Structure 1
Amino acid sequence: MTPFHIPQSRRALLHSLLLTTGGIITSSVYAEALTLTPRSTEGPYYPDHLPLDQDNDLTQIIGGKAPASGVVTEIGGRLLHVDGKPINDAVVELWQADNNGCYIHSHGTQRGKERDPQFQGFGKITTNAKGEYRFRTIQPALYTGRTRHYHFAVLQNGKRMLTTHLYFAGEPQNEKDGILRGIRDEAQRLSVIREFKPMNDGLVATWDIVIGMTPEDPEQRRKGPPPGPRPR
């Protein structure tokens, strides 16, 4: 796997994540892994200016003066084919809102808010021989019209295979989120909702991403909404 580029002081936390999950898939998780992760919209805030630092630790940028604000969150799991075989040497991307509900996008700042300059906002990692990936980030803040979520994309051999979202179990806004509710297949909908458990003053979740063999049709890159007041 591509090196994490994470200082030694923070590697212990990632190691504890591996110990927590056991580094293996249990029979119940394996059965769930046979459910294809549903595709979802890219949304308007895929970075239109990628940060120089694009590693899988979004909480600290190169040359940053301080860690990002927010609750530190660990997400890890495996990238699998629908037949359960791990996929190595694929790129998993993550992008999200910061602790103020803002994205690293020219139109991604909410009214009355400022983007956290210490938050990376976007990261990626290449899966190892077991198909494993790991991210260290923060819990995203809410913004108008959406429940709490992460954006993920999977690229294999330069082709985007999947664009999807990951959601937090127990969020009241889940019941009203149109994109989440739009996943009609119950098994697929449940496959992108995860319980984030407390760990070392942060949160941790395990999530396996399951893809098919066919690349998705590329969604035309959306421009963010024009700057200006947004409805609350």
Structure 2
Amino acid sequence: PSAEPLLAEMKRFLEKGIELQRLLPYAAVVAEQAWLGQADKHEALRLIGLAEGLSPTRAVFAELAVWRRMLVPDVDPGDTAGMALPYRMLLTGDWRGAAAAWAELDTPYERALALAQGDEAAQRVALEIFEGLGARPVAQHVRDIMRRSGVIHIARGPRRATRANRAGLTERQMEVLQLIERGLSNKRIAEHLAISPKTVDHHVSAVLGKLEAVSRGEATATARDSGLI
């Protein structure tokens, strides 16, 4: 929701004069929204066409070329020479190679977008990545794609209590966080919750990761500052 003022500002700049460095990111955002069913597809394709005409090289146009392919799967990708490897792979149908390239670059969102264009197993991995990132609209769109393809037993996503938690912590992870805040060791937490120490290790790692903390102290400080505890 907080992106809307920024998108409106981007649009105002473009209305004053089309400049490629401003058009490229705006067109990419509108294309992504159109793919999710949240913007007009024809307007997205118009912006992509405008950017293509202004791009001095195909390399500059690579990301938008992929978005156009996602909006219109049968479209001719055109010349892919000079484009970055992951984009070039996607445009030639090599979603596996593109996903591997994005993974090597440590870009999980782009990796998941590539996997979403693959087979059922790849789409399930993409769904898990999107849910882990909190990209729920994209996750729901992938579910819709899978259902239209006849896939069954699709993960429904986090429970309502997890979604309501601003950090995405599960009920069990919140219990662990509260015990961490009380100063309990992993062994004591395991005894308190009647679970194995190894399970506690996994929960603690998940809590630190979701709170983007490098230590237990930093995790509890972040949780206090954000009102989680």
Q: TM-score, normalised by structure 1?
A: 0.23
Answer 1 or 2: which has greater strand percent.
Answer: 1
**Higher relative contact order (CA closer than 8 Å, sequence separation 6+):** 1
* Higher Cα Rg, which structure: 2
Answer 1 or 2: which has greater helix percent.
Answer: 2
Q: TM-score, normalised by structure 2?
A: 0.23
